[in-house]
Chains A and B, each alone.
Chain A
Amino acid sequence: MSDNREQTIDRLLLQLIKEGNQAALASFYDRHSRLIYSLILRIVGRVPDAEEVTQEVFLKVWRSAGSFDSTLGSPLAWLTTVARRLAIDRTRSKHYKSEKSETGLDALEIDDEGGFEGQVASNRLESIGTAEHRVLFSAVERLSEEYRLIVELSYFSGHSHSEIAERLGCPVGTVKTRLRQALGQLRSILMEGKS
């Protein structure tokens, strides 16, 4: 199915959800819960937290489908943004931090050289899925190590530019430039794949 058709279905479902249609919510959940849960799990690193945040995301959709602004992108882009924000909020909560230190979750974080450790690394190696997923996976893999690190720190770990600058020991301006270049490179790799 084309992206346009997928977007039309999502827009229609959001319209129905806004009107209080529970079956539309079930349909919307069935279409996107796998992606949203996987993203959240990647950010929070723990199944119980990932499930709680996933539920929070779809309840937010249920309560605020009307706040979707179609001028800013597709329903899926909106959903992904909501999921990422709630997941990052969870990693900043006191409860999460205290449990994290008890369970040694730090092992899942990337090291300063940009290598990935623990469960995350093995997940990446096990990565299987649809053809589209494999294309995207290898596109991210093809980013230079430096760019992959910046995407990892800002997108998946939710660090601010100044936090990243401090961590990498470089000026904030360099972080902004590198992030822009990293996404530019990702876009070019994806375009190459299409042509």
Chain B
Amino acid sequence: MTHEQIRSLLEGYVFGSLDENEQKQVDAHLQTVCRDCRTELQDLYELSVKLAQSLPQSDPSPQLRENLLAQAARKSVKSSHRFPRRVWLPTSVSAAAAVALFFWGFLLHKENQKLRQRLSEAEDVSSLLRSPGMQFVDLKGVDPNPQAFGKVVLDRQRGKAVVYMYRLPQTPQGKQYQLWVMREGKPTSAGVFTVAPDGSAALKLDRLPGTDGLPSFLVTIEPEGGEAAPTGMMYLTGPVPPEKN
């Protein structure tokens, strides 16, 4: 099929009204990273949102929200507790089983704590997202680690922020990453952290150092416990854009 023939099928592709063969041909064409078709496809997907937005709007029952969150919580607990399922228990509860039970209980407790912590972090983000003065700041990886990136959700008026960072190299022994707020060339430490095994980290800032003017964020690697001013290699940086009135 020619490029033009494929283009004539994109509306049907977005609406799911093609036959199986046509669908396959469009998929294959898109694999070739045809930029024109991808742009057209994005445009059509956005148009399909507008069609949905043109409908009369009504709310589902509040019960639906509760059911959804309860189900999500069940699925999350199920998947996060997969590991202790194979605990072996003999018919007569032996000392080893008692230890295993204790250990299991401990793991569940730790997992619960983690879940609660994640929930509270997300509640903070949700509250920030609702704040009228909320801003986003993109953090970009610096050579030789351009793959690292991050996002700051910032509320300057309340001095609060949540910082998410991804694809950072593992924290070296005896070191920690340190987040800085740079203002008029002067750095103020906003906290130290280590990264998770997947290179991600999240930092909640409740009393952000002064962010008047146009500050920027900076992440460097420093000796454990942090320094009074940046001394190590820079990993992430991002300027706060001017506030829109």
Contact = CB atoms under 8 A, between A and B. Distances in A.
A164 interface: yes
Contacts, number: 190
A133 B118 contact: no
Of listed A25, A78, A177, residue having the most chain B CB within 10 A: A25
Nearest to B33: A71
Contacts of A77: 42, 45-46, 48-49
Of listed B18, B49, B129, residue having the most chain A CB within 10 A: B49
A174 interface: no
Interface stretch (A28-36, A100-108, A109-117): A28-36
A45 interface: no
A160 B17 contact: yes
Contacts of B65: 26, 29-30, 33
B98 interface: no
A82 B143 CA distance: 39
Majority secondary structure of chain A interface residues (helix, strand, loop or mixed): helix
A73 to B, nearest CB: 4
Interface string A46-77: 00001100110011001100000001111011
Contacts of A72: 38, 41-42, 45
Contact of B53 (A9, A88, A133): A133
Contacts of B18: 160-161
B67 interface: yes
Interface string A79-109: 0110111001000000000000000000000
A186 interface: yes
Contacts of A85: 16
A23 interface: yes
A73 B123 contact: no
A59 B27 CA distance: 26
Contact of B57 (A8, A35, A155): A35
Nearest to A137: B54
B126 A27 contact: yes
A62 to B, nearest CB: 5
B123 A23 contact: yes
B59 interface: yes
B12 A161 contact: yes
B53 A132 contact: yes
Contacts of B153: 12
B198 to A, nearest CB: 10
Interface string B60-72: 1100110111011
Contacts of B121: 21
B104 interface: no
A76 B119 CA distance: 23
A42 B53 CA distance: 12
Contacts of A126: 56
A34 B55 CA distance: 11
Interface in B48-93: 48-61, 64-65, 67-69, 71-73, 75-76, 80
Interface in B6-63: 8-9, 11-12, 14-19, 38, 41-61
Nearest to B118: A21
B125 interface: yes
Given A22-B76, A26-B65, A58-B68, A38 B58 contact: yes
Q: Please name the 5 residue pairs, one residue from A and one from B, whose CB atoms are nearest each other, closest first.
A: A23-B122, A77-B45, A136-B54, A73-B45, A21-B122
Given A58-B72, A81-B48, A190-B50, 14 more contacts: A8-B136, A20-B118, A21-B119, A24-B122, A27-B122, A55-B67, A72-B41, A73-B41, A126-B56, A136-B53, A158-B17, A160-B17, A161-B19, A176-B12
Interface of A: 5, 8-9, 12, 15-16, 19-27, 29-30, 33-39, 41-42, 50-51, 54-55, 58-59, 62-63, 71-74, 76-78, 80-81, 83-85, 88, 123-124, 126-129, 132-133, 136-137, 139-140, 151, 154-155, 158-162, 164, 176-177, 179-180, 183, 186-187, 190
